[in-house]
Amino acid sequence: DADVTQTPRNRITKTGKRIMLECSQTKGHDRMYWYRQDPGLGLRLIYYSFDVKDINKGEISDGYSVSRQAQAKFSLSLESAIPNQTALYFCATSDDPGQGAKTQYFGPGTRLLVL
Amino acid sequence: LAKTTQPISMDSYEGQEVNITCSHNNIATNDYITWYQQFPSQGPRFIIQGYKTKVTNEVASLFIPADRKSSTLSLPRVSLSDTAVYYCLVGNSSASKIIFGSGTRLSIRP
């Protein structure tokens, strides 16, 4: 979805390096999410944020941190990258139309390789 | 630990109806069921969402039995462009629970 952009699209880094993955959205949504996708495991939630003052850990937050710089921007950092963090990372957004689960809109993904 | 289970892969032919079932035995009262479609090198894309019984939109139907421990995504008259990975998601509105299945790779043949 062009309304959700991720940079970079591909990244190769070395063990121990700090890297940041960035996500921007023009949908005007308050909620943003970071997932990782591994072959055979589907998507797993790393962190999510409901507004700029709200950050929540997901299922697999260890080794990651996030920053919600503005409503439209949500960054994921790997403070000291390790090889098992090699994966495809997706950012997503959703609005908050009251009750019910929220439809999520995903970015194109960032492919990260940690050597 | 809550788990969402779906078949790894399915094959079908153009023009056929395809049904993909997801098992979610530990679904909670506040959980909804959502299905996403993913093409290579793209993020998942919303298909359909439901809470119980049947939901239908322009591309698919979602069948949910009374006990809600499973759900079935139905794609009518598939075409080659429906070849993709389909994910079942069980989650609530607060995002405190978001459980994706491991995905079903659907291959459509001419």
Residue of A nearest to B85 (CA): A42
Residue of A nearest to B7 (CA): A40
User: Read out DSSP for A25-41?
Assistant: E-S--SEEEEEEEETTT
B1: pLDDT strictly greater than 80: no
- Residue in B33, B100, B104, B105 to test binding to A, most A beta-carbons within 10 Å: B100
A60: pLDDT strictly greater than 60: yes
Higher pLDDT, A42 or B71: B71
Query: What is the gyration radius of the CA atoms in chain A, in angstroms?
Result: 13
The residue with tokens 């941190």 is A65
Measured between alpha carbons, how far is B104 from B5 in angstroms, rounded to an integer? 10
- Residue in B98, B100, B102 to test binding to A, most A beta-carbons within 10 Å: B98
Check residue B74 and give its pLDDT: 98
Check residue A87 and give its pLDDT: 97
Q: Give the number of C-alpha atoms closer than 13 A to the C-alpha of residue B100, restricted to the C-beta side.
A: 26
**DSSP reduced 3-state for B82:** helix
Measured between alpha carbons, how far is A79 from A97 in angstroms, rounded to an integer? 35
Closest Cα of chain B to A88: distance in Å? 10
Q: How many residues appear in chain B?
A: 110
Determine the average pLDDT of the residues in B21-49: 93
